[in-house]
Amino acid sequence: MRSLSDPPRHAIGFELPALGLMVPPGAVLFHRPLRQIGALGVAAARLATLWNLDLVVPLPSEGERRA
């Protein structure tokens, strides 16, 4: 099981740079304000962080996968 320090570290190390790279082109591509695309990106990043902690869809443990 992952520790509770993993999600914040993942969010800072991966999600924030990804948002910085994807929000400006997304705003231009979809003709939407940065704030709107940024809010959508933050929601997706939060979902990804929770998913990595297995809070959204818990994955089966190693023993359950083999059964």
The full DSSP string for 23-54 is: HHHHHHHHT--HHHHHHHHHHHHHHHHHHHTT
> DSSP class of residue 67?
-
Please determine, for residue 66, whether its predicted confidence score (pLDDT) is greater than 60. Answer: no
Global pTM? 0.68
pLDDT at 55: 66
Q: Name the CA dihedral angle for 60, 62, 65, 67, rounded to a multiple of 10 degrees.
A: -120
> Considering the domain boundaries, does residue 39 fall inside one?
yes
> Considering the domain boundaries, does residue 1 fall inside one?
no
> Considering the domain boundaries, does residue 46 fall inside one?
yes
> Considering the domain boundaries, does residue 29 fall inside one?
yes
* pLDDT tens by residue, 17-62: 999 999 999 999 999 999 999 999 999 988 887 777 766 666 676 6
Domain count, the chain: 1
> Considering the domain boundaries, does residue 56 fall inside one?
yes
> DSSP class of residue 5?
T
For residue 28, give its domain range.
Answer: 6-66
